[in-house]
Amino acid sequence: MLCYVVLLVSFLSVCESSEFCSVNPGEVNNDCLETSKITARPRFLFYDVNPPEGFNLRRDVYMRLAVMIRKLSEKADWHLVLPPWPKLYHWRSRVSQERLPWSLFFDLESLQAFAPVMDLQQYITEYGVSSIEQVYILQHFKDDWAAGRFEEKQSIGICNETPPYVLEEDGRFSGYFWGFKNLTASNMACLSFHGRAFQLAKFLSESQIRTVMVDHAEVVLHESYGDKEYWQARRSMRFSKKLVEKAVKFRQQVLNSSDEADKTVRPEDWRKEKGGRTALGGPYLCVHMRRRDFLWGRPKEVPSLPSVAQQLRYHLSKLQLNVVFIATDAPDKEFQEIQSALSDYTVVKYIASEDELLEIKDGGVAIVEQIICSHARFFIGTYESTFSFRIQEEREIMGFKPDTTFNSLCGDGSNGSCKQPSRWLAVF
Ligand code: GFB
């Protein structure tokens, strides 16, 4: 019942305000594009992602939308407003970590060199907090893939689940809105969507709504997965200078690693990167040892600690390295177990001081660990962890040889030989 009321209200408000140019969603209406070009009013796309999703999947969703907003901005003055980071499920420390800006983790200038994006805080400073005109909750078609063929389609209709937005007495919708209580929406609708980013771009171009939010943006697929533009978007995701500096310091002081010696010097501007296969990496092996929910989520692929130690010993001896850096979400005692099993090697991890944790939060610590792993002479990840995937991509961008990058720990019972990650090679 609530869905029907919500839909009716949304539909009526859209009709009354006559803000859609076309009555056929999904088709491009060139008049709309022209109007947008002429009026050149800034337009803003806000978005959010399914709450349980982890940090590195959220990065992937960003890329889908960054490619899309770049396309949209060719025709009109579109901007992507970056959703502040909520306290994610995996961020376990007690420091306060709500509504974190993207600038804490990423270098915004680098992101902006790819597409017009801004932190929500910047939007609020420049335009004030008010109301978003239209929220679309994206959802899958119930019969998705049923016919066994990929067909791009979309339609506004009944919500599959009770929407997390409530119609208030003043006719506005309240909702989570990244924790900003005074932010509301004028209209809300559920949009069943099956398709890639440019399909959504077409849909958005058809209306002249200035402020629109797509919730569950993870439903949108990549426009093109793994092509040059994908990698440009990926390369533009440089980490914030503060986090890079912390990793540089740790590499120098603990791992005897520097960009010059490791052959990982990069141009300041990602657009000047040329690709190549000359990176050597610092004199250490890095393993990303994903534990916690992976222990029960992927029990066959996640090895026991004695097996991890055995696999590391094998690689260290083969590579003639004496130092292992461990990036992990494991509790301390598991790290110590590996340390004592490899007591003839130097086994280290990054430990943030309390002040540092307050400054860069759990998300920043995880990124510092990722950067350190990206610079290792040899990397071993955890099977199907997006945390490991992002390290592999970073190494691809820096120009490591694929043999040193696309390696995974093997589960117990596989005798150290198991399916290794597919080689996701960078395109320049
Ligand atoms: O990044 P992520 O999506 O990768 O989520 P997965 C894992 C999170 O756990 C990271 C923490 O973002 C970190 O906050 N974490 C994992 C780590 N490994 C490390 C590490 O080595 N060091 C530090 N400091 N933190 C998916 C999740 O995780 O796994 C899904 O996104 C779900 O929500 C699924 O839980 C099973 O792909 O590894």
Checking if the pLDDT of 43 tops 70, the result is yes
Q: Residues 194, 120: one domain?
A: yes
Ligand 1 binding pocket, CB closer than 6 Å: 52-57, 90-91, 288, 290, 293-294, 297, 327-329, 362, 365-366, 369, 385-387
Q: Residues 266, 205: one domain?
A: no
Inside any domain, residue 134: yes
Q: How many angstroms does the Cα of residue 266 sit away from the middle of ligand 1?
A: 27
Nearest ligand 1 atom to alpha carbon 288: 21
pLDDT at 40: 63
Q: Which of 152, 186, 219 is the last residue of a domain?
A: 219
Q: Residues 186, 249: one domain?
A: no
What DSSP string describes 260-301? HHHT----SSGGG----S----EEEEEEEE--THHHHHSTTT
pLDDT at 151: 86
Inside any domain, residue 163: yes
Q: How many angstroms does the Cα of residue 57 sit away from the middle of ligand 1?
A: 9
Q: How many angstroms does the Cα of residue 412 sit away from the middle of ligand 1?
A: 21
Residue 213 burial (CB count, 10 A):
24
Query: Which has the closest alpha carbon to 233: 68, 57, 105, 83?
Result: 68
Mutating to test ligand 1, I would choose from 57, 58, 90, 408 the residue with most ligand atoms within 8 A of its C-beta, which is: 90
Checking if the pLDDT of 72 tops 60, the result is yes
Triad 182, 185, 186: Cα angle to 5°: 130
- Between β-strands 323-328 and 282-289, what pairing exists: parallel, antiparallel or unpaired? parallel
Please report how many Cα atoms fall inside a 13 Å half-sphere around the Cα of residue 251, on the Cβ side. Answer: 29
DSSP label at 101? -
pLDDT at 289: 98
| Mean of pLDDT values over 5-13 | 37
Categorize the per-residue pLDDT at 4 as very low, low, confident or very high, splitting at 50, 70 and 90. very low
Nearest ligand 1 atom to alpha carbon 290: 18
Determine the number of helices (DSSP H) and then strands (DSSP E) in the chain: 14, 13
Inside any domain, residue 209: yes
Task: Give nearest CA residue, ligand 1 atom 3.
Answer: 54
Q: Residues 270, 336: one domain?
A: yes
User: In which domain, by residue range, is 109 found?
Assistant: 42-219
Query: Which has the closest alpha carbon to 134: 23, 2, 15?
Result: 15
Checking if the pLDDT of 51 tops 90, the result is yes
How far, in Å, CA of 198 to CA of 71, rounded?
Answer: 8
Query: Which has the closest alpha carbon to 332: 306, 350, 310, 358?
Result: 350
Q: Residues 205, 304: one domain?
A: no
How far, in Å, CA of 366 to CA of 377, rounded?
Answer: 19
Q: Residues 343, 204: one domain?
A: no
Checking if the pLDDT of 36 tops 70, the result is no
Checking if the pLDDT of 38 tops 90, the result is no
Both tokens of 354, joined, read: 């309390």
Q: Residues 207, 324: one domain?
A: no
Looking at every residue in the chain, the average pLDDT score rounds to 90
Inside any domain, residue 304: yes
pLDDT at 8: 37
Sheet-wide strand order for 282-289: 346-348, 323-328, 282-289, 376-380
**Residue % of the chain over a pLDDT of 70:** 89
In angstroms, the Cα distances linking 350 to 41, 109, 382 are: 47, 27, 18
Query: Which has the closest alpha carbon to 286: 359, 171, 387?
Result: 387
Q: Residues 118, 198: one domain?
A: yes
Categorize the per-residue pLDDT at 144 as very low, low, confident or very high, splitting at 50, 70 and 90. low
Both tokens of 313, joined, read: 């010993």
Task: Give nearest CA residue, ligand 1 atom 38.
Answer: 385
Inside any domain, residue 166: yes
Checking if the pLDDT of 6 tops 80, the result is no
Bridge partner list, 166? 174
Q: What is the CATH number of the domain that holds 292?
A: 3.40.50.11350
Q: How many angstroms does the Cα of residue 319 sit away from the middle of ligand 1?
A: 28
Checking if the pLDDT of 416 tops 80, the result is no
Q: Residues 397, 252: one domain?
A: yes
Task: Give nearest CA residue, ligand 1 atom 22.
Answer: 328
Categorize the per-residue pLDDT at 417 as very low, low, confident or very high, splitting at 50, 70 and 90. confident
pLDDT at 147: 58
pLDDT at 142: 84
Inside any domain, residue 248: yes
Categorize the per-residue pLDDT at 39 as very low, low, confident or very high, splitting at 50, 70 and 90. very low
Q: Residues 338, 196: one domain?
A: no
Residue type at 170 in one-letter notation: D
| Mean of pLDDT values over 136-162 | 86
Inside any domain, residue 6: no
Inside any domain, residue 226: no
Percent helix, percent strand, percent coil in the chain, to nearest 5: 40, 20, 40
| Mean of pLDDT values over 359-383 | 98
Checking if the pLDDT of 396 tops 60, the result is yes
Of the ranges 117-131, 339-353, 370-384, which one carries the lowest mean pLDDT score? Answer: 117-131
| Mean of pLDDT values over 46-65 | 97
Residue type at 375 in one-letter notation: H
| Mean of pLDDT values over 252-280 | 98
- The number of folded domains in the chain is 2
Q: Residues 258, 190: one domain?
A: no
Task: Give nearest CA residue, ligand 1 atom 23.
Answer: 366
CB 65 within 8 A of CB 78: no
Checking if the pLDDT of 129 tops 80, the result is no
Q: When comparing pLDDT for 35 and 90, which is higher?
A: 90
Q: Residues 276, 211: one domain?
A: no
How far, in Å, CA of 128 to CA of 147, rounded?
Answer: 46
Q: What is the CATH number of the domain that holds 89?
A: 3.40.50.11340
Of the ranges 13-17, 208-212, 321-325, 386-390, which one carries the lowest mean pLDDT score? Answer: 13-17
CA 164 distance to own-chain centroid: 23
How far, in Å, CA of 329 to CA of 322, rounded?
Answer: 23
